Amino acid sequence: MEYPDYRLDGDVAVVTGASKGIGRDLAKALAAAGARVAVAARSTDDLDTLVAEIEAEGGEAVAVALDVCDTSQISEAADHVKRHFGSIDIWVNNAGLGANHPAEDITEDDWDEMMSVNLRGLFFCCRAAGRVMLEQGRGRIINMSSQAGVVGIRDHAVYSASKGGVNMLTKVLALEWSHRGVTVNAVAPTFIYTPGTAERLDQEDYLAGVLERLPIGRVGTTGDVAGAVIYLASPAGAMVSGHVLLVDGGWTAQ
């Protein structure tokens, strides 16, 4: 048998929403696994430190301006990465919005803003990446979903709807593209401790409510998410496509 290979040496990876939180740490983890990384966000100013950190650790990175709500920027970003590195082997759709709203208080603007980023923007990033990868005959697309796309969570109507859409879109694209060498999967985390979630998770009562639903007994880390992403991006994950990989500590097992 061939032993599993989790290295990404020489691969080119794109991470959207890479300026902070999960996206930032995913970019660093992919670089540590050997990938050359294009880190994308609306402003490259927010990415300069990240690029410098990756390069200081021996990696190779480039910052790319990308607002996923602008389809022309998506196409330009994909073209830029291909010109710079020569290919796109891995594309991680991490850019996303989250919000807590009782359903009766949700406005049209709330709905449109979140869907524009979480679902519409993600699809057109998949399309841009897919076009490059299909021409190459190989590639890995990894969409960041959520446990909220698999089970309902109060006050997350729009968010859950957007992530449920991500899950189904992942399956359809896998059906269309897997036989042409491009796998498409999603990673669906539970609550992950980041600077963005710290405000809530640092509240003792809020954290206690979350932990009641987590059989594993703790919230997730960005490293937990990175492990799933690297697996799906690596040769070890070559047989996996159309799958939603829950990194949820058992939340959805109940």
Number of domain units in the chain: 1
**Distance (Å) of CA 76 to CA 53, 68, 72, 121, 132:** 25, 11, 6, 14, 12
Q: If we measure between CA atoms, which residue out of 95, 210, 103 comes closest to residue 147?
A: 210
pLDDT value at position 45? 87
Which residue in the list 159, 193, 206, 231 is annotated as catalytic?
Answer: 159
In sequence order, what E strands does 24-171 have? Answer: 36-41, 61-65, 90-93, 139-144
Q: Please report, in tens digits, the pLDDT of each residue of the chain (254 residues total).
A: 889 999 999 999 999 999 999 999 999 999 999 999 999 999 888 899 999 999 999 999 999 999 999 999 999 999 999 999 999 999 999 999 998 889 999 999 999 999 999 999 999 999 999 999 999 999 999 999 999 999 999 999 999 999 999 999 999 999 999 999 999 999 999 999 999 999 999 999 999 999 999 999 999 999 999 999 999 999 999 999 999 999 999 999 99
**Distance (Å) of CA 23 to CA 65, 94, 195, 209:** 15, 6, 12, 26
Give me the CATH number covering residue 90: 3.40.50.720
Residue 215: inside a domain: no
Residue 132: inside a domain: yes
Residue 254: inside a domain: no
Residue 27: inside a domain: yes
Residue 213: inside a domain: no
Alpha-carbon span 157 to 153, nearest angstrom: 8
Residue 231: inside a domain: yes
Contact 54, 60 (CB under 8 A): yes
Residue 3: inside a domain: no
Alpha-carbon span 217 to 156, nearest angstrom: 23
Residue 198: inside a domain: no
Question: Catalytic annotation on 159?
Answer: yes
pLDDT value at position 46? 84
| Token representation of residue 174 | 């896998």
Alpha-carbon span 240 to 184, nearest angstrom: 8
How buried is residue 203: exposed, middle or buried, by Cβ count under 10 Å (0-12/13-18/19+)? exposed
Would you say the pTM of this structure is higher than 0.75?
yes
Domain span holding position 29: 12-193+222-247
